[in-house]
């Protein structure tokens, strides 16, 4: 049995801040001298990012008047984990609801009380009772909905959520899975001049993405059949991409060796994914690659002999949003879905995401056209009756 990714909805916080403006904030917060400030602005210019979204307006206020950070030289006392988690709890739910509603609006035939599973994903905040329980009430889901939380896996976690959704649908033809990835990365700014922290401060933004997966294509528009998954590890990269909870937020390690490690493993990962499938890399014309950074996209293009045009959706998301950790690959898939035409029906789609470990996740999807309305109505009625009888 095949499962289908039928709709994706996204949401971002209200504060959309240009990359040069964030660089100015960072230079002031780090109390950099003139030479270091010039180098920092150069780093931000070559990042491939135009704007990022954040729940904290402070990043657009280089001259103080901050709401979250202290209005003191050096931002001391620097906010604690507890203060950052309070912000996460305040902002994660409304942003998640916005993304989920944007997803479900695309599927008017799907009633919220027929959703059988809820999968929440985040590596930037945790609390209990958590976001999953709050979403049940906020979205009007059935209280008996089966909930699963995917926490602290980093940028590749959306692929694991899709694997879960696929497994649920393969086990039960009437399963209907809503997954919600919400990341507030900008809560974890680290006041450090180490290269890893300078790079991560230059890349990450806030966003939420929700997707609906079920055992049949959507009634209208295109869906993506989840054809195959494959996970690879590059153990040499365990120290090069990492995510740790420390006293002043969650600390990201992102070394300059990561693109090289991904380049080394990406072709082998692709070959292993496609080994037992009737698809070759040369057959794939559509790609949805997690834009971990501009250099990562460029090294993948080199390794797989792709063009910048092949990677256009990843570059677009990187430019407009930055890296939003787990939500990002769903933003890329959303852009791909928006640009599909009837001629794309049946086309394979190759998607990658990367994270701590160094973990490399790959999935193969296939473009599927809408199910005929009469067939969908009959199957949808069966799903509703079985959900209400539970």
Q: In the prediction, which pLDDT does 350 show?
A: 96
Predicted confidence (pLDDT) at residue 257 exceeds the cutoff of 70: no
Q: The CATH number of the domain where 144 resides is what?
A: 3.40.47.10
Task: Quote the CA–CA distance of 28 and 41 in Å, as a whole number.
Answer: 12
Q: In the prediction, which pLDDT does 371 show?
A: 64
Give the catalytic positions in this structure. Answer: 155
Q: In the prediction, which pLDDT does 313 show?
A: 98
Predicted confidence (pLDDT) at residue 384 exceeds the cutoff of 60: no
Predicted confidence (pLDDT) at residue 252 exceeds the cutoff of 60: yes
Burial (CB < 10 A; 0-12, 13-18, 19+), residue 237, is buried
Confidence of residue 273 (pLDDT cuts 50, 70, 90): confident
Beta carbons of 121 and 157 less than 8 angstroms apart: yes
End position of a domain, from candidates 195, 214, 233: 214
The string of pLDDT tens digits covering residues 322-360 is: 999 999 999 999 999 999 988 999 999 999 998 887 888
Whether residues 227 and 210 fall in one domain: no
Predicted confidence (pLDDT) at residue 115 exceeds the cutoff of 70: yes
Q: What is the DSSP string of 141-204?
A: --TT-EEEEEES--TTHHHHHHHHHHHHHHH-TT-EEEEEEEEEGGGG-----SHHHHHHHHHB
The pairing of beta strand 348-355 with beta strand 286-289: parallel
93 or 260, greater pLDDT: 93
Predicted confidence (pLDDT) at residue 260 exceeds the cutoff of 90: no
Task: Quote the CA–CA distance of 7 and 117 in Å, as a whole number.
Answer: 15
Q: In the prediction, which pLDDT does 222 show?
A: 94
Whether residues 160 and 22 fall in one domain: yes
Question: For a pLDDT cut of 90, what percent of the chain falls above it?
Answer: 72
Whether residues 210 and 257 fall in one domain: no
Beta carbons of 123 and 157 less than 8 angstroms apart: yes
Whether residues 13 and 131 fall in one domain: yes
Structural domain tally of the chain? 2
Predicted confidence (pLDDT) at residue 366 exceeds the cutoff of 70: yes
Whether residues 135 and 31 fall in one domain: yes
Confidence of residue 379 (pLDDT cuts 50, 70, 90): low
Whether residues 176 and 263 fall in one domain: no
Q: Is residue 378 part of a domain?
A: no
Beta carbons of 178 and 115 less than 8 angstroms apart: yes
Q: Is residue 377 part of a domain?
A: no
Cis status of the peptide bond prior to 112, with omega within 30 of 0: no
Whether residues 285 and 329 fall in one domain: yes
Whether residues 153 and 9 fall in one domain: yes
Q: Is residue 384 part of a domain?
A: no
Q: Is residue 144 part of a domain?
A: yes
Whether residues 322 and 175 fall in one domain: no
The vertex-177 CA angle with 129 and 55, nearest 5°, equals 50
Whether residues 331 and 281 fall in one domain: yes
Q: In the prediction, which pLDDT does 385 show?
A: 58
163 or 250, greater pLDDT: 163
The string of pLDDT tens digits covering residues 308-331 is: 999 999 999 999 999 999 999 999
Q: Is residue 118 part of a domain?
A: yes
Task: Quote the CA–CA distance of 290 and 162 in Å, as a whole number.
Answer: 15
Q: Is residue 155 part of a domain?
A: yes
370 or 227, greater pLDDT: 227
Task: Quote the CA–CA distance of 272 and 29 in Å, as a whole number.
Answer: 45
End position of a domain, from candidates 162, 190, 214: 214
Burial (CB < 10 A; 0-12, 13-18, 19+), residue 66, is middle
Q: What is the DSSP string of 267-295?
A: HHHHHHHHTTSS--GGG--EEEE--S-HH
The string of pLDDT tens digits covering residues 279-302 is: 999 999 999 999 999 988 998 999
Whether residues 193 and 132 fall in one domain: yes
The string of pLDDT tens digits covering residues 171-183 is: 999 999 999 999 9
**Containing structural domain, residue 268:** 223-368
Q: Is residue 383 part of a domain?
A: no
DSSP lists the bridge partners of residue 217 as: none
The string of pLDDT tens digits covering residues 234-250 is: 776 555 566 677 777 77
Confidence of residue 368 (pLDDT cuts 50, 70, 90): very high
Q: In the prediction, which pLDDT does 93 show?
A: 98
Mean pLDDT, the chain, rounded, equals 90
Whether residues 46 and 150 fall in one domain: yes
Q: Is residue 341 part of a domain?
A: yes
End position of a domain, from candidates 214, 247, 281: 214
51 or 199, greater pLDDT: 51
């Amino acid at each position: 049995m095949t499962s289908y990714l039928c709709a994706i909805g996204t949401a971002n916080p209200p504060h959309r801040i240009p990359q040069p403006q964030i660089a100015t904030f960072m230079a002031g917060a780090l109390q950099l001298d003139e030479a270091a400030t010039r180098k920092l602005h150069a780093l931000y210019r070559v990042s491939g990012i135009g704007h990022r979204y954040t729940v904290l307006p402070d990043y657009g206020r280089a001259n103080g008047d901050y709401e979250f950070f202290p209005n003191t030289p050096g931002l001391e006392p620097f906010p604690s984990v507890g203060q950052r988690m309070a912000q996460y709890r305040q902002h994660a739910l409304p942003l998640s609801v916005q993304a989920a509603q944007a997803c479900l609006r695309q599927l008017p035939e799907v009633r919220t009380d027929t959703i059988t599973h809820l999968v929440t994903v985040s590596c930037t905040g945790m609390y209990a009772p958590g976001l999953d329980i709050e979403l049940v009430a906020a979205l009007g889901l059935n209280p008996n909905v089966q909930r699963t939380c995917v926490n602290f896996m980093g940028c590749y976690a959306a692929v694991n959520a899709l694997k879960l959704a696929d497994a649920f649908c393969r086990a039960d033809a009437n399963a209907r899975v809503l997954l919600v990835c919400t990341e507030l990365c900008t809560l974890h700014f680290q006041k450090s001049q180490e290269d890893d922290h300078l790079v991560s401060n230059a890349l990450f933004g806030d966003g939420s993405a929700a997707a609906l997966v079920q055992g049949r294509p959507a009634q209208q528009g295109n869906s993506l059949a989840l054809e195959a998954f494959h996970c690879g590890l590059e153990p040499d990269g365990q120290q090069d991409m990492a995510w740790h909870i420390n006293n002043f937020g969650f600390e990201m390690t992102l070394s300059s060796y990561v693109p090289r490690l991904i380049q080394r493993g990406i072709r082998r990962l692709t070959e292993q994914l496609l080994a037992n499938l009737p698809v070759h890399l040369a057959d794939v014309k559509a790609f949805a690659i997690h834009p971990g950074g501009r250099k990562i996209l460029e090294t993948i293009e080199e390794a797989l002999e792709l063009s910048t045009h092949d990677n256009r959706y990843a570059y677009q998301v990187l430019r407009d949003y930055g890296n939003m950790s787990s939500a990002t690959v769903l933003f890329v898939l959303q852009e791909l879905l928006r640009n599909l035409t009837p001629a794309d029906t049946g086309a394979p789609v190759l998607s990658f995401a990367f994270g701590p470990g160094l973990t490399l996740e790959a999935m193969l999807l296939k473009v599927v056209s809408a199910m005929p309305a009469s067939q969908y109505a009959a199957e949808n009625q069966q799903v509703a009756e079985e959900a209400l009888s539970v």
